[in-house]
């Protein structure tokens, strides 16, 4: 198919492993970067922007990091692409303008949900 989104070999691939320990943690995922580093994130949303799909995660803070409750968690935006097998994978978005546009869309959607 000509419309298949293929990953650029130079883009950083992120592996995903869903964690479903209980209902409270059902939105948690573990992401493994190309260096094998594993981090836990909370899935927040999937958005379409300029013909591409993006996923929004928030870094899950350790209990030690929760000491400063006023500090908000880090939001991570990754593009959904496909590997050679047609499987969905997440890749780092290099274009800061795109990251900002997707983040703004996410915040607008979040604000609209709060109004409901």
Global pTM value: 0.70
Calpha distance 94→76 (Å, rounded): 12
* Predicted confidence band of residue 68 (pLDDT cuts 50, 70, 90): low
Which of 67, 43, 68, 63 has the alpha carbon at shortest distance from 54? 43
| Arithmetic mean of pLDDT, 73-77 | 90
For 37, which DSSP code? -
Q: What is the mean pLDDT of the chain?
A: 78
pLDDT at site 110: 84
Per 3-state DSSP, the chain is made up of helix, strand and coil in percentages (nearest 5) of 25, 40, 35
For 4-20, the DSSP string reads --B--TTSPEEEEEEE-
Domain regions of the chain by residue span: 13-115
pLDDT at site 111: 81
Residue 81's contacts (CB-CB under 8 Å, 6 or more residues apart) are 5, 6, 7, 11, 88, 89, 90, 91
């Amino acid at each position: 198919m000509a419309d298949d989104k293929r990953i650029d070999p130079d883009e950083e691939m992120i592996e995903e492993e869903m964690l479903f320990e209980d209902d409270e943690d059902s939105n948690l995922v573990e992401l493994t970067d190309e260096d094998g580093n594993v981090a836990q994130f909370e899935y927040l949303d999937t958005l379409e922007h300029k013909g591409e799909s993006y996923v929004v995660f928030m870094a899950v803070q350790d209990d030690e990091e929760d000491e400063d409750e006023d500090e908000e968690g880090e939001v991570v935006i990754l593009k959904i692409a496909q590997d050679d097998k047609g499987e969905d994978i997440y890749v780092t978005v290099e274009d800061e303008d795109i990251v900002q546009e997707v983040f703004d869309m996410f915040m607008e959607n979040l604000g609209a949900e709060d109004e409901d």
